């Protein structure tokens, strides 16, 4: 008489009977979960090897495969491709509240990680493979139908990214065969990896048909361009008619399901206020009064003396022909990054590419042909350098024309006979790469 044993090394009729019952339990008690299938790394993406960077750590792949690794150095797959088809599978997970995890040092919120189980054979039949790290799950019962922002046109979906997957312990039956697949999923963030999902428009756009009626507020797709109906469009109206149609860029899913849009607004507001409060580098010395001196002795400012009987508090210009007592330097305010090209005490300055004719002692001139601009003072015989305008914008944008910014953001190209046009601005990773010597 053979030994009694529940274990079966093969998938016998017992296994198939139990598997059908378990599948039916998921059909009855589970919920639909939408799966965005990860296909592999993008060929020719902005960081992929096919973008022309020639990096050995970023191999060239001629096909999509979820097992390929885009960056072998950092072990990252930044340019991911997801299937345009959305798969529907029944899954089961434990609904949980947000709770405080006090088992570790500090205070942690627990509840943003979902452990979801799927019927294994149904998963293989539907998806064609096992769920793996990188697949994105959309949980429909967690959709937010009442977002706080009333301008959001549709309910907010909830996306989760699978971080790990394996057979579920509760899915083994009496035959010691597994029937369920368990995944660990965390909320998806708006990052480069998921652009193919988040860059899709949130509005439902239809393909343009000249014979259809479109009510006001409709979105249509004509080629690769989106158009918005500003008023009711009767059949026969051309898509290029600006009275009815307006070319617009619709909001994307990422604009609504993530905080990136609001974070960008906050960052821009902070930068704008920072430019107002600290517009230039260094220190502002224009608010300090500098006592004019001559031979180390204080003199009457701007030549105001008894020979100017008409000078009073309402005078805007005060000088005389005998002396123009202006400061010969910035005095005690001279320091690191204090030069601004402004004369001390707000005295008038003559800007230009040459020195002014017939100057008087104490006059200031700002030479614009110096880079940075240089402020001079006439002492009666020669023009003495006072300071250079070294206070610059703190933003290294195209409007910043300082030596540092123009050097770092140099967009010119150097023409060579053997290697063509070489850009002046290159990253260190490009400069340090070995190049073939194509010269004679």
How many whole angstroms separate alpha carbon 117 and alpha carbon 105?
Answer: 31
Token code pair at residue 428 = 């260190």
Mean pLDDT of 186-209: 85
Per-range mean pLDDT, top range of 286-290, 345-349, 417-421: 345-349
Q: What are the extents of the domains in the chain?
A: 13-42+79-198, 206-250, 278-307+316-402
Per-range mean pLDDT, top range of 62-66, 99-103, 269-273, 418-422: 269-273
Q: What is the pLDDT of residue 266?
A: 93
| Single pTM value for the model | 0.66
Q: What is the pLDDT of residue 313?
A: 53
Q: 316-350 pLDDT, tens per residue? A: 554 444 456 888 887 766 677 888 889 988 899 99
DSSP classification of residue 102: -
Express as a percent the part of the chain with pLDDT over 70: 82
Could you say which architecture CATH assigns to the domain 206-250? Ribbon (2.10)
Burial class (CB in 10 A: 0-12, 13-18, 19+), 201: middle
Mean pLDDT, rounded, of the chain = 82
Token pair 């502002």 is found at: 284
């Amino acid at each position: 008489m053979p030994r009694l044993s529940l274990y079966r090394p093969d998938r016998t009729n017992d296994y198939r009977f139990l598997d059908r019952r378990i599948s039916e339990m998921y059909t009855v008690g589970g919920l639909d979960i939408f799966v965005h299938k990860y296909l592999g790394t993008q060929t020719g993406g902005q960081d992929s090897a096919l973008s022309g960077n020639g990096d050995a750590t970023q191999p060239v792949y001629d096909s999509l495969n979820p097992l390929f690794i885009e960056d072998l150095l950092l072990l990252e797959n930044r340019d991911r491709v997801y299937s345009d088809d959305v798969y529907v599978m029944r899954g089961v997970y434990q609904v949980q509240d947000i709770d405080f995890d006090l088992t570790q040092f500090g205070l942690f919120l627990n509840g943003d990680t979902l452990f979801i189980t799927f019927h294994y054979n149904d998963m293989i039949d539907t998806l064609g493979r096992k769920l793996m790290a990188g697949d994105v799950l959309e949980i429909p019962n967690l959709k937010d139908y009442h977002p706080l922002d009333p301008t959001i046109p549709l309910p907010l979906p909830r996306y989760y990214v699978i971080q790990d997957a394996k057979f579920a312990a509760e899915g083994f039956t009496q035959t010691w065969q597994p029937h369920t697949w368990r995944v660990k999923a965390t909320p998806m963030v708006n990052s480069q990896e998921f652009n193919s999902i988040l860059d899709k428009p949130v509005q439902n756009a239809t393909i343009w048909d000249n014979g259809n009626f479109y009510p006001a507020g409709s979105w249509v797709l004509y080629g690769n361009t989106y158009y918005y109906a500003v008023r009711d469009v009767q059949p026969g109206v051309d898509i290029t008619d600006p009275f009815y149609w307006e070319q617009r860029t619709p909001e994307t899913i990422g604009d609504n399901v993530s905080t990136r849009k609001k974070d960008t607004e906050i960052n821009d507001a902070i930068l704008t206020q920072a430019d107002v409060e600290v517009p230039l580098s260094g220190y502002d010395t224009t608010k300090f009064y500098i006592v004019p001196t001559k031979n180390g002795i204080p003199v009457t400012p701007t030549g105001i003396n008894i020979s100017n009987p008409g000078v009073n508090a309402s005078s805007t210009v005060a000088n005389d022909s005998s002396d123009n007592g202006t400061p010969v330097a910035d005095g005690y305010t001279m320091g690191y990054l204090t030069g601004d090209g402004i004369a001390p005490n707000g005295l008038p300055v003559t800007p230009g590419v040459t020195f002014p004719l017939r100057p008087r002692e104490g006059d200031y001139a700002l030479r614009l042909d110096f880079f940075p601009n240089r402020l001079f003072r006439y002492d009666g015989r020669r023009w003495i350098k006072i300071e250079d305008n070294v206070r610059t914008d703190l933003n290294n944008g195209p409007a910043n024309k300082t030596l540092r910014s123009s050097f770092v953001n140099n967009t010119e190209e150097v023409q060579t006979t053997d290697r063509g046009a070489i850009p002046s601005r290159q990253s260190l990773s490009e400069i340090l790469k070995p190049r073939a010597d194509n010269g004679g």
